Structure formats: C-alpha cells, structure tokens
Amino acid sequence: MENSIVKSQAYGKDCVRVVRVVRHQDGWQEIADYWVCCLLSGEQFETSYTKGDNKLVVATDSQKNTVYYLAKTLPAEKVMVPEVFASEVASFMVKKYAHVTTCHVKVTTKPWERMKFDNKGHAHSFYREGKETRWTEAYATKTNPPSAEQFTVKVNSGFYDLEVLKTTNSSFVDFWRDELTTLPDMPDRLLSTKVLCQWKFVPQTIEALQAIDYNAAYNGAKRNTLDAFANDPRAWVHASVQSTLYIMADRILNDFAAVDDVYYALPNIHYFPFDLSKFGLKNTQTDAEVYMPIANPSGLITATISRPSKGKF
C-alpha cells in the first residue's frame, strides 16, 4: 500500500522560445527575444501523481500555446518588458483555471542591441555580443482558491554572466591566519568576477507592479554594479569582494524604492602573478605584469542585502 504523500509539486513547459516584433508605422521596429518557463501547481494536481488521473492536468503543450497566444494578443508594452509579460502570463493562468493555485513564470532574455551607423540607430537591424543574461520571474497565487477574484503577484528580477575585471585598486589584506594559511597579503591585485545579481520587488497589487519602470531598475542595477566595481569613492581600494558586494547592493536599494532586497553571487576569478624568478625576472607585487588566470577553484562570495526592518535602530 502506498503511504507516501506529495510534499510539493509543480509542472509545466520550459524553454519556450518566443520572439515578438513590434512594427511602427514609421518603419522603426523593436524586438523581444525570450526563453519562458511556466509552472502550475495546486492541491488538485496531486491525484495526477498518486492516481495517474489526468482529468485536471492542463497539458504542458497548452501552456506553451498560451505563451504564444498572449505574446500576440497583449498590447506591445505588456510584452516588450519581461517583468510585465511574466506577470501577465502568470495572472492569466490563475484566473483561467479554477484548480490552479499558483503559476510561476520565469522569463530569460539576452537582449539584441540595435545597430548604429553614424551614431544613428538602424530601424530594423540588431546584433548580439557576449553580454549578461537578463531574467525575471513572477508568481501569481490565489489568496482564496479556487476563487480567482483575489490573488497576489510577486516579481523578482536579475542578471547573470556579467564579466568584469580591473587591473588595480583591489586588495585583500589583514585576513585570518593560522597554520593552514599560505596566501600572502595582496595590497594590490587584479580583480575579476562573473556577476550574478538579483533583486526582489516590494509585493504590491498587479496594477502597481505593472506601473514600475522595470527597464530603469535593470539598467540602474547594472550601472551601480559597474560603477561600484570601478569608481565608488567610499572604497576606492576595496578591502575584499565582500565590501564590493555590499556597496553595489546598497546603491541599488538607495536608488530604487520598489526594490526590497538584493542578492549577489560573485565568484572571485583569480589572476595570480606567474613566478618568473627562475628566469631572473621580477614579477611579484608592484613588479607584476604577467598573470596566470586560474578558473578553478575560485572563491565564491554571496550575500543578500536588504533594508533595515521597521523599528530597528
């Protein structure tokens, strides 16, 4: 006899590739290029796992079709911004299907850049270079299922694979030492990382969430990440990757009231001066000019930075 229970479940369609082109009357065109994952969950799906009963299962192919249907029928402004499109798809699912309690939609995009000639953007031609990947996810959850009259929407966003490097103005000194320590103080070093950054928006109504300027938040998070890494006057020579991370996140929270907290994962991609002493050459500390990149192992620094809770002094 089967005694096990379904502790949690969700199912859906992943890697739905959808491209939406907006064609303006003056010939100017825009493009959005997405990978979409749509997952449905609810108590009434449990029998599909435990009893093999598919009567309430919305086929994953139907979920795929819904993504394309909404990409075509929604107004362009609700498709071209990934946060808005994700929240629209999630909301559509929980409103349409009474037995769906939560819909989780994740949208990932590697944006196309508009070609420029003589400092003018081309009307309909784009290119894509190696750059970071932008993503967002929306959760629509009914507050009184199966009724679809009230539901909450949460939106998280971020980017990953933003590669940065600076050749000076980074240090790592005065760290813990014991019999297992071999790393010397590094008063100046190359610093490189591949940034993963994500931020949560303050939970609000669907109408309020869709009024947020998500592109401004994305561009601002990227700008603050790069500027803190290269220029922030509070820590021109950063004491560690940890302090760099905190400064980046703190700037985002100060600039965007709609953001609730910020998470970073920063792998410390090491560049060590190559030992050339056997050839009679100095290549350490201030003499270092030739480096050996070390992909693995790498340091990994993570943290979630949030606003102080109310009442905390």
Active-site residue numbers? 13, 60, 270
Beta-carbon contacts of 183 under 8 Å, excluding residues fewer than 6 positions away, are: 175
Query: What radius of gyration do the chain's Cα atoms show?
Result: 24
Q: Which residues contact 178 (CB under 8 A, 6 or more apart)?
A: none
- For 224, left (φ over 0), alpha (ψ -120 to 50), or beta? alpha
The 10 Å Cβ neighbour count of residue 241 is 19
Is the torsion defined by CA of 234, 238, 239, 241 positive or negative?
A: positive
